[in-house]
Chain A
Amino acid sequence: MIKAEKLTKIFRADEVETTALNEVSFEIKKGEFVAIMGPSGCGKSTLLNILGLLDNPTSGKYFFLDREVSGSTERQRANLRKENIGFVFQNFNLIDELTVSENVELPLIYLGMPTRERKKRVEEVLAQMQISHRHKHFPLQLSGGQQQRVAVARAVVAKPSLILADEPTGNLDSAHGEEVMNLLNELNVNGTTIIMVTHSQRDAEYSQRVIRLFDGQIINENIKKSIL
């Protein structure tokens, strides 16, 4: 599903040049649950942004669904993104001015789905995430765990084949964290590919494979479970 070949990302600010990713290569198959780990500043989030088509690499090749996309335009990336990828962020990134339902509905609006179908899908997903009773509330009226469940709902509502999660439990207490990890696991079991950046060894336990990054390079890749 995903293939990275010598992905390099260099940030330039004034006269300083930082190599955030240095010739990173790996492959992720459909249905895998992969955790990316490493200390702060090792390039985890940069890698996730490139994998999520939010950013382009400076050099190297990136095959997404067998298509080379490293040089694609913002519009092409946006189209690929909304059809195939769901995002879950550490800080939830919900829009404060929109209700729970409206937040979850957004990706479907951008996909151009008809209203009735959209409403139905939102209802289903909210039920699946057990947050239906709060659908008229605003994000700031919810607990952190509830907010993250809304965020997950939003990530899966368009039925993407890939979910990218950036420290999904970072802002949650352990009980709520476990809840979210179970949700992700369930999605993976049902066939969704998941790539998750995390600091937490406990969360990484849920994955089948861990990619460890250090100073922009992969230092070790170990498969923990066999892919079913």
Chain B
Amino acid sequence: MNKMLILFSNYALLSFRTLSRQRKHAAINIIGLSAGLIVFMLIYLFLIHENNYDTSWRDHQRLYRLHGSLIFNGREDRFALSSFNMAQAMKTDFPEVEAATLIFRNSFSNDQRGITAWVNDQMYEIPPVTVADADFFKVFDYPFLSGDPLTALAEPNSIVLSKKTANLLFGEDDAFGKLININAKTYKVTAVIDKEKVQSHLVFDDLISISTLPKTQIEQMRADWFWLVGYTYLRFKDDQQAKLFPEKLELLRKNTIEPWIKEVSVDGDIQLAIEPVTEIHFNTSLQYDSPSNTNRNYSYIFTFIAIFLLLIASINYMNLATARSIKRAREIGIRKAAGAHRGQLIFQFLGESIITSFLAFLFALFFTELILPAFNTLIGINLTLSQLYKSGFVHYGLLLVAVVVGVGLLSGSFPALVLSGYSPVAVLRSAGGFSGDKKLFSAPNLRKVLVVFQFIISIGMIISTLIIADQLRYIRHFDNGFRTEQTMVIHFPTDTILRRNSEVVRQNLLALPEVEKVSLTASLPGYQSGRLMFFLGDTANPEVRTMNIYVVDHEFFDLLGLKTLEGRVFSKDSPDDVNAAFVVNRAAAKFLGYENPVGVKMNCGLGVDGKIIGMVEDFHYTSLHNPVEPLVFILTRENMRYVAVRISSPNLQPSIEKIADVWQHFDQKHIFNYHFLDNHLQMQYDHETKMMALFGWFSLIVVLISCLGLYGLSAFTIEQRTKEIGIRKVLGSSARQTILLLIKDFVKLVFLAGLLSVPTSYFFMDEWMNNFAYRVGIRPVWFIAGFMIAMLIAVATVMAQAFKAVRSNPVNAIKYE
């Protein structure tokens, strides 16, 4: 034991001495490994975050969400939603269900603009409220700062605030029991919860009790199984019960829902299913699901990147270590001559690499902490290093330490095996020119393979970044089929007095010289549209089709510049249009089976019964991930959500101020809330934009680490060739000839890597492109560009070294021996 300790301290001392003596090499190793570890840790924190959605609920293994699919005309639409009655049915009809709850938005919209709340004559903007039933906190155990989980949502007009909203409205004061006025209704704060402590797919800010809603609304929802109003969650009494539950759900469908469907005589069906809450985050197959959900493939891609980066950084270490081996051969020979056996030498070299790995880890921790805020802004998630050691997460921290040791072992493995294998006689006999490379493992060839591997990844990542950027540019400049520029969208609060005077507001806005057009509408491109059943033909035996619906005014078509293909759009000259006319897009006409659908009889649940009066050209009202779906427009003067204003003046700011003045002249009770349509549409590609930024940064780091390796390796190779360069110079080689000679070998390697990276990056990018219905395609120019960029950087790296060699006096070189 004592002997081991002495040996170990001898090695540790030697490791530190080697590191401090070979500063340049140590720096390259530590910087490279640090950079790799920084990115690894960032991705690691991200993956920990992604894999811990909904894992902190008490009994989360027993927690499920019930969701429904609607089937019409053989088409199945799968929703994250379910009917109003489901939660109640779960509680009363299924003894194995311990608790169930329903939560829903009053209006489904991805429009997260705030609503106006009043506290003591003070006006505030708070996020839109969400509705939940009394049992919500029986299922989801949010941490309560005040109030009682069992009664918080029991009474009508109760509101549960998030800590954030409570702070906004009441500052340091206790919010419990205080009154808030929203939409001309007074709510009492019954609880404040700390929802930031929980990481969940559930996205809401403040909750109001379901009993607050008007009885009529509840009755309407209760009466219609096809109306998928919200999200139903349930907890089983034990975790085995979920397995048999689908059969029981089928019974519910057969015994309760099917008779109702027959009764209302609709040719359609509902399918029910459950899924564990812990799996919701990675499920992107359901409509109207949580906006925080994401495709698991992104996690896989980032895992690959993290592993590759560590691999690349380890390769650098291996490359430099074996390259330097010639210099260390003497030390090994002496140690062997003095009695060291191979195992001890392997131990020494692995010790060195593990120490280097840990030094790099310390740097990486420091820099990760520095970089995290910027990274968090980039990905829109709040990651912290505390994820590695907070209670319940310690295993993640330990795994990271294991990775660091693993990187050390991997980095040191190859050099350890090669170096420890040197024969002491061969090493000691040759004074300085021992070339161990020629015998063992053919280290120079392996170094070449490793460099090629690094550059395959580097070039592949550059190419991918360029292709992603190209697709995003394509989407940004894609002709959506409607006008988006200079269009301001003002949010219409539900309780505004303007609602009753909307025509007056319109006229006042139009009176401004800066305003060109005004439309009052419930639907706009880029926002979630509703979906509705339409009944075609014979009233006794109608054909049912579900299509997306836009509720608009007369000016809508003109404002967006939609092209009329057949018939006409809504007209003020035809007062009947309000309850007897539909306009459809081309995709809807095709879906219904008409080339010209004008005159086709149709009716829908919103009380419109009449004919299709016109067809407009398709326009991209949802993101370009999807093709244009069938869309039906109906005309209404009620329930407007937005005022869309086309501004003619190029000076936007003064125009906005004037419009705000008009608005506030009529309504001082709400915050003037607006945005621009083109900006809003771009938000649909936030995810991809973030992806591109991440990919860009990561590829930069991959290239950096690869170049660091190349720098070290070329420095070494050139140092080894000093004598040769000197001789060539003496014999009349020009500077250009010498530089070409030196970079030629590296250029060959990068060229080979370029060739090999083409199929790999093509494969991955082709997969990614499939996410979009509209693709720019994979253009060869990006392969060439990616290759050229990598080549330029690689050549510049080696060139720096080559120049130094060329400038040195050949006289010194030829005396080298």
A38 within 8 A of B: no
Question: CB of A89 within 8 A of chain B?
Answer: yes
Which 5 pairs between the two chains have the least Cβ-Cβ distance?
A: A82-B732, A110-B732, A107-B731, A93-B727, A95-B724
Instruction: State whether A54 touches B731 (Cβ < 8 A).
Output: no
Instruction: Name the contact of A81 in the complex, choosing from B723, B726, B727, B732 (C-beta under 8 A).
Output: B732
The reply to whether A93 and B814 contact each other, CB–CB distance below 8 Å, is yes
Which residues of chain B are within 8 angstroms of A91 by Cβ–Cβ distance? Answer: 814, 817
Closest to B806 in A: A74
State the CA gap A89–B727 with chains docked (Å). Answer: 10
Would B731 and A110 count as touching, CB distance under 8 A?
Answer: yes
In the bound complex, do residue A55 and residue B732 qualify as a contact, i.e. CB atoms below 8 Å apart?
no
Residues on A with C-beta less than 8 A from B810 are: 54
- Measured in the bound complex, the distance between the Cα atoms of B817 and A93 in whole Å is 9
Is B733 engaged at the interface, CB distance under 8 Å to the other chain? yes
Contact (Cβ within 8 A) B731 A55: no
Query: Which B residues between 724 and 742 are near A, CB-CB below 8 angstroms?
Result: 724, 726-735, 737
The distance in angstroms between the C-alpha atoms of A96 and B723, with both chains bound, is: 10
Q: Is the CB of A79 within 8 A of B732?
A: yes
Distance between B435 CB and nearest chain A CB, rounded to angstroms: 9
| CB atoms of B811 and A55 under 8 A apart | yes
Q: Do the beta carbons of B811 and A49 come within 8 Å of each other? A: yes
CB-based contact A97/B724 at 8 Å:
yes
Can you name 14 A-B pairs with beta carbons within 8 Å? A54-B810, A54-B811, A78-B729, A79-B732, A81-B731, A81-B732, A82-B731, A87-B731, A93-B723, A95-B727, A97-B724, A106-B731, A107-B732, A110-B733
B805 to chain A, nearest CB (A): 14
Contact A78 B811 (CB under 8 A): no
- Residue interface mask A54-85, B partner, CB < 8 A = 1: 11000000000000000000110011011100
Is B809 interfacial (CB 8 A cutoff)? yes
Give 7 new A-B contacts, CB below 8 A, not counting A54-B809, A78-B729.
A82-B731, A89-B814, A93-B726, A93-B730, A110-B731, A110-B734, A154-B731
Residues of A within 8 A of B733 (CB): 78, 106, 110
Asked if residues A87 and B811 are in contact (CB atoms below 8 Å), the reply is: no
Which B residues are CB-close (under 8 A) to A54? 730, 809-811
A83–B811 Cα gap in the complex (Å)? Answer: 19
A49 to B809, alpha carbons, bound, how many Å?
Answer: 11
A93 partner residues in chain B, CB cutoff 8 A: 723, 726-727, 730, 814
Asked if A75 meets B731 with Cβ closer than 8 Å, knowing A54-B810, A93-B723, A95-B724, the reply is no
Is A111 among interface residues, defined by CB-CB distance under 8 A?
yes
With both chains docked as a complex, state the minimum distance between the C-beta of A5 and any C-beta of chain B, in angstroms.
22
A89 to B737 Cα, complex, angstroms: 23
Contacts of A110 in B (CB 8 A): 728, 731-734, 737
Beyond A91-B817, A93-B727, A97-B724, whether A78 also contacts B809 by CB under 8 A is no
A54-B810, A89-B814, A110-B737 as given contacts; A78 in contact with B732, CB under 8 Å: yes
Closest-CB distance, B721 to chain A (whole angstroms): 9
Q: Which residues in B have their C-beta under 8 angstroms from that of A154?
A: 731
Closest to A87 in B: B730
- Chain A residues lying within 8 Å of B723, measured Cβ to Cβ, are 93
B723, B732, B809, B814 — most chain A CB neighbours (10 Å): B732
List B contacts of A95 (CB < 8 A). 724, 727-728
Q: How far is the CB of A18 from chain B (nearest CB, A)?
A: 15
In the complex, A74 Cα to B737 Cα: how many Å?
Answer: 14
Question: Would you call B734 and A111 a contact (CB within 8 A)?
Answer: no
Which residues of B in the span 686-735 have a Cβ within 8 Å of any Cβ on A? 723-724, 726-735
Interface centre among B730, B737, B810, B814 (most CB of A within 10 A): B730
Closest beta carbon of chain A to B429's beta carbon, Å: 14
List the B side residues contacting A89 at CB < 8 Å.
814
Query: Which of A55, A75, A96, A107 interacts with B734 by CB under 8 Å?
Result: A75
- Interface members, chain B 42-71 (any A CB < 8 Å): none
Q: Which of A103-120 contact B (CB under 8 A)?
A: 106-107, 110-111
Q: How far is the CB of B412 from chain A (nearest CB, A)?
A: 30
Complex alpha-carbon distance, A79 and B737, angstroms: 13
Minimum CB–CB distance for B292 against chain A, Å: 60
CB proximity of B573 to chain A, nearest CB, Å: 88
**CB-CB < 8 A to A94: which residues of B?**
727
Whole-angstrom CA separation of A100 from B276 in the bound complex: 76
Residues of B within 8 A of A97 (CB): 724
Measured between alpha carbons, how far is A74 from B729 in the docked complex, in Å?
10
B432 to chain A, nearest CB (A): 13
CB-CB nearest in chain B for A81: B732
CA distance A107 to B212 in the complex (A): 97
| Residues of chain A lying within 8 A (CB to CB) of residue B724 | 95-97
Q: How far is the CA of A82 from the CA of B727 in the complex (A)?
A: 12
Please give me the residue from chain B that is nearest to A82 by CB atom: B732
Q: A110 — nearest CB in chain B belongs to which residue?
A: B732
Give A55 to B279 CA distance when docked, in angstroms. 75
CA distance A49 to B726 in the complex (A): 13
Interface string of B787-817 (1 = CB under 8 A from A): 0000000000000000000000111001001
A54 to B735, CA, bound (A): 14
CB closest residue in chain B, given A154: B731
Which A residues lie within 8 Å of B727 (CB)? 93-95
Are B728 and A106 in contact, with the CB atoms below 8 A? yes
What residues of chain A lie closer than 8 Å to B809, measured between beta carbons?
A: 54-55
Question: CB-CB < 8 A to B811: which residues of A?
Answer: 49, 54-55
Q: Closest CB of chain A to B726's CB: distance in Å? A: 8
C-alpha spacing A133/B735, complex, angstroms: 34
Residue of B nearest to A55 (CB): B811
Q: Which residue of chain A has the shortest Cβ distance to B817 in the bound complex?
A: A91
Q: Which residues of B contact A78 (CB under 8 A)?
A: 729, 732-734
Complex Cα distance A96/B814, Å? 13
If A54-B811, A91-B817, A93-B814 touch, does A81 touch B730 (CB 8 Å cutoff)? yes
